[in-house]
């Protein structure tokens, strides 16, 4: 079977399992309603914190509230999509420890798809909704000089950003094959990453910005494309086309994460721990 | 499947065996804590040059103490673990290299880990199996009806799994593992924790399945009765090596397994003068314990005691698998020592 076949098989298995989890969630409707509302409120409060900060200052490292909202909206939406799709992967370590991963390995479906769909939680849609609301507010209040390229950059950036976060989730899960209690490390990169990106790059030290651009390329989720759309200089000296480089960066990240996953699974199957 | 018997053995590959292991090894590098931050590496040979074949339609008990290498073997046979050496084939497939292709041919029941969906009605789990294994609709319905009938699941299909008893859930799990017509069924402790009625149901079902579809069954268990009632063949593994391979009766001889007869007399009496080879091993008031080789029938001993003593009640206890294996192991070591000089 080719890679395409495996991908189709994986997507199908993901859909089947996610569907079962949605039905499981609906077995407790009241509980679902409460956690969904709770999730929306908690993520909503996140942005309220930033608004409160702006009630005291007019700009944050040169960025106005609407501009920070633009960064926030892009990052939160991308992250929300990845979290909705793969958020449960951080539980892999637990499955490795208690041995339930084995039950997935005897099924005729890719393990990655099965682990990704495990405990699929529809309430996580709240984060995506909140991100889109903030993004909508930013677009409504900003006076952007739109060009075709900038318009196209919006959906491309969201999709690429989601793919980059997905790669981080998969790579983090792959690491848990080796270190089963590493879910906190993974959280530092995923939840930590999205929080970092919600602030302007100009707030941070050059070294950090460099790390986030060249080492773990989270800057391609929003900082670089947003700098172009907002017409703001990026703290590092970079050619103009990097604003459009998110898709190839996302593809590279996903490929690397895929390799890491394979290595992790291979190591599990040779050591069983 | 009807074509199974005729075709299965031949297409299985690896000679006449349906499952073949040829000097299969599994070596783990275990890291152990040796003080703060310091780790010691140690090589552990979980499975050591293991060779055996199982023919299509056989029912084999695979037993051994905890940590003997049982589950490592099963994990290699199901494609979960990759062997470190040797050759392994199940239905002509190399499990570790073609895991998903193998998955269509095997059914696995992990005794204490249910694969059923906790919050959903039992039938939903079966519908998922139906779609995930791409079982043709007619075949699925036919198999499901048969399972429901044989495993008595009719009233349970619409019940959320979390509300099922342990025995009901085990039956549900077994059905889930068989809907896709696997040629091999691996059962890990299928009767652990079940009550007598459930145990009987599960065993009767497995016999029926084996007779009807020639499904090859490999089961690990701590319950000798499982093996007595189901398996014509037993394999004993210890320290990653095959210690015994043959019928259960032979295992008792090899292990000098003993059954225990517990006799309640009307009153306290001196030790019973039992017919050889039975002998009294313990006396406590009116109750006496007699031991005799597991390969012998209890009937003549019971008849003799009943005829000569005021008998109130009696029961027979089967030897414990662990004890049999421990004795067998000690016996071999002893003979080897004696043979050495």
Residue among A273, A265, A225 at smallest CA distance from A247:
A225
Distance CA B71, CA B44 (A): 15
**B73 contact A CB<8A:** no
pLDDT of residue B319: 73
**Of residues B208, B122, B221, B225, the one with CA closest to residue B165:** B122
Q: What is the ipTM of this complex?
A: 0.89
Looking at chain A, which residue has its C-alpha nearest residue B83? Answer: A270
Select from A141, A137, A122 the least CA-distant residue to A47.
A137
**Residue ranges per structural domain of chain A:** 3-267
Confidence (pLDDT) at B2: 40
CB–CB of A272 and B128 under 8 A? Answer: no
- Is residue B41 one of the residues assigned to a domain? yes
As a 3-state breakdown, chain A gives helix, strand, coil percent values, each rounded to 5, of 80, 0, 20
Residue B241 shares a structural domain with residue B309: no
B5 within a domain of the structure (yes/no):
no
| Same-domain pairing of B247 and B289 | no
Per-residue pLDDT at B16 = 63
- Strand ranges in B55-98 using DSSP code E only, listed in sequence order: 59-63, 85-90
CA closest to B134 among chain A residues: A108
DSSP string, A55-69: TT-S-BTTB-HHHHH
| A264 touches B: beta carbon within 8 Å | no
Contact B244, B328 (CB under 8 A): yes
Task: Give me the number of domains chain B comprises.
Answer: 2
pLDDT at B333: 53
**Do B133 and B278 reside in the same domain of the chain?**
no
Q: B173 and B76, same structural domain?
A: yes
Q: Give the domain CATH number at B139.
A: 3.40.50.300
The residue among A216, A19, A187 whose CA lies nearest residue A93 is A187
Helices assigned H by DSSP within chain B? 2-11, 70-77, 99-103, 122-132, 137-150, 166-178, 196-213, 224-230, 248-255, 299-308, 321-339
Specify the pLDDT at position B271. Answer: 86
Is 70 exceeded by the pLDDT of residue A259?
yes
Q: Which pLDDT does position B65 carry in this prediction?
A: 80
Residue B325 falls inside a structural domain:
no
In a domain, B334, yes or no: no
- CA-CA-CA-CA torsion for B325, B328, B333, B335, nearest 10 degrees? 180
Chain B (94-113) residues lying within 8 Å, Cβ to Cβ, of chain A: 96, 99-101, 103-104, 106, 108, 110, 113
Q: Do A103 and B113 touch (CB under 8 A)?
A: yes
pLDDT at B14: 41
Chain B residue numbers with beta carbons less than 8 Å from the beta carbon of A271 are 28-29
Cis peptide before B277, with omega less than 30 degrees from 0? yes
| Residue B215 contacts residue B185 (beta carbons within 8 Å) | yes
Residues B163 and B297 in one domain: no
The answer, for A24 touching chain B at a CB cutoff of 8 Å, is yes
> Domain containing B191: what range?
19-251
- Residue A107 to residue B113, Cβ atoms within 8 A: no
pLDDT tens for A203-256 read: 999 999 999 999 999 999 999 999 999 999 999 999 999 999 999 999 999 999
State residue B13's pLDDT score: 41
Same domain, B37 and B155: yes
Q: Are residues B213 and B277 in the same domain?
A: no
Residue B255: predicted pLDDT: 65
Same domain, B299 and B242: no
pLDDT tens sequence across A30-84 = 988 888 888 888 888 889 999 999 999 999 999 999 999 999 999 999 999 999 9
Q: Do B91 and B54 share a structural domain?
A: yes
Q: Please give the interface size between A and B, counted as residue pairs whose CB atoms are below 8 Å apart.
A: 66
Contacts of A100 in chain B (CB under 8 A): 113
pLDDT digits (tens, 9 = 90+) for A168-197: 999 999 999 988 777 888 888 889 999 999
Same domain, B125 and B164: yes
Residue B167 and residue B237 share a domain: yes
Q: What is the DSSP letter of B15?
A: T
For residue A21, the distance in angstroms to the closest alpha carbon of chain B comes to 9
Model pLDDT, residue B258: 79
Encode pLDDT of A237-248 as tens digits.
Answer: 999 999 999 999
3-state secondary structure at position B19: strand
Is residue B262 a part of any domain in this protein? yes
The answer to whether residue B338 sits within a structural domain is no
Question: CB A110 to CB B100 under 8 A?
Answer: yes
* pLDDT per residue as tens, chain B (341 positions): 443 333 333 333 444 679 999 999 999 887 776 666 667 778 888 999 999 999 999 999 998 887 888 889 999 999 999 999 999 999 999 999 999 999 999 999 987 788 999 999 999 999 999 999 999 999 999 999 999 999 999 999 999 999 999 999 999 999 999 999 999 999 988 888 888 888 898 899 999 999 999 999 999 988 878 888 899 899 999 889 998 899 887 776 766 677 888 989 888 888 888 777 888 888 888 899 988 887 778 888 888 888 888 888 888 887 766 677 777 666 555 444 444 43
pLDDT in tens, A69-128: 999 999 999 999 999 999 889 889 999 988 899 999 999 999 999 999 999 998 898 899
At residue B330, the pLDDT reads: 66
């Amino acid at each position: 079977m080719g890679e395409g076949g495996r991908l189709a098989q994986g997507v199908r298995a993901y859909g089947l399992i996610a569907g079962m989890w949605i039905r499981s969630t609906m077995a407790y409707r009241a509980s679902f309603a409460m956690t969904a509302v709770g999730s929306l409120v908690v993520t909503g409060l996140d942005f309220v914190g930033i608004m409160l900060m702006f009630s005291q200052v007019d700009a944050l490292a040169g960025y106005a509230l609407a501009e920070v909202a633009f960064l926030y909206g892009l990052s939160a939406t991308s992250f929300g999509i990845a979290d909705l799709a793969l958020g449960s992967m951080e539980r892999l370590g637990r499955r490795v420890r208690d041995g339930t991963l084995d039950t997935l390995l005897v099924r005729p479906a890719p393990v990655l798809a099965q682990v990704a769909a495990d405990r699929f939680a529809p309430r996580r849609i709240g984060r995506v909704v909140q991100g889109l609301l903030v993004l909508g507010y930013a677009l409504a209040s900003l006076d952007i000089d739109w060009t075709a390229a900038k318009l196209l950059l919006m959906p491309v950036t969201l999709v690429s950003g989601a793919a980059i976060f997905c790669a981080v989730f998969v790579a983090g899960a792959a690491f848990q094959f080796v270190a089963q209690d590493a879910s906190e490390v993974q959280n530092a990169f995923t939840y930590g990453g999205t929080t970092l990106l919600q602030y302007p790059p100009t707030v941070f030290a050059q070294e950090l910005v460099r790390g986030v651009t060249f080492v773990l390329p989270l800057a391609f989720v929003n900082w670089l494309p947003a700098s172009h759309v907002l017409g703001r200089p990026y703290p590092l000296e970079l050619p103009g086309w990097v604003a459009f480089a998110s898709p190839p960066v996302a593809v590279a990240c996903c490929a690397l994460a895929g390799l890491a996953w394979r290595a992790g699974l291979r190591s599990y199957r040779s050591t069983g721990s | 499947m009807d074509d199974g018997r005729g075709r299965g053995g031949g297409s299985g590959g690896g000679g006449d065996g349906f499952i073949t292991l040829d000097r299969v090894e599994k070596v783990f590098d275990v890291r152990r804590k040796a003080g703060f931050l310091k780790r010691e590496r140690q090589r552990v040979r979980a499975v050591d040059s293991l060779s055996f074949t199982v023919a299509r339609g056989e029912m084999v008990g695979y037993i051994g103490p905890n940590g003997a290498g049982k589950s490592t073997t099963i994990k290699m046979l199901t494609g979960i673990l990759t062997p470190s050496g040797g050759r392994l084939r199940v239905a002509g497939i190399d499990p570790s290299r073609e895991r998903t292709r193998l998955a269509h041919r095997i059914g696995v029941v992990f005794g204490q880990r249910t694969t059923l969906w906790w919050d959903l009605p039992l039938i939903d789990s079966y519908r998922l199996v139906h779609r995930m294994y791409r079982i043709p609709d007619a075949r699925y319905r036919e198999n499901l009806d048969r399972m429901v009938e044989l495993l008595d699941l009719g009233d349970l299909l619409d019940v959320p799994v979390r509300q099922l008893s342990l025995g009901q859930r085990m039956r549900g799990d077994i059905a889930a593992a068989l809907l896709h017509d696997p040629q091999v069924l691996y059962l890990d402790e299928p009767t652990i924790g079940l009550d007598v009625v459930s145990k009987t149901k599960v065993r009767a079902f497995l016999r029926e399945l084996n007779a009807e579809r020639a499904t090859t069954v490999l089961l690990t268990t701590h319950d000798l009765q499982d093996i007595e009632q189901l398996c014509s063949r037993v394999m004993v593994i210890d320290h990653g090596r095959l210690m015994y391979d043959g019928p259960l009766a032979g295992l008792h001889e090899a292990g000098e397994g003993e059954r225990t007869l517990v006799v309640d007399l009307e009153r306290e009496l001196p030790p019973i003068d039992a017919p050889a080879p039975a002998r009294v091993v313990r006396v406590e008031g009116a109750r006496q314990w007699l031991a005799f080789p597991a390969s012998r029938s209890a009937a003549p001993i019971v008849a003799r005691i009943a005829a000569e003593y005021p008998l109130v009640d009696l029961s027979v206890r089967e030897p414990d698998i662990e004890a049999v294996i421990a004795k067998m192991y000690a016996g071999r070591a002893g003979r080897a020592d004696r043979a050495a000089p």
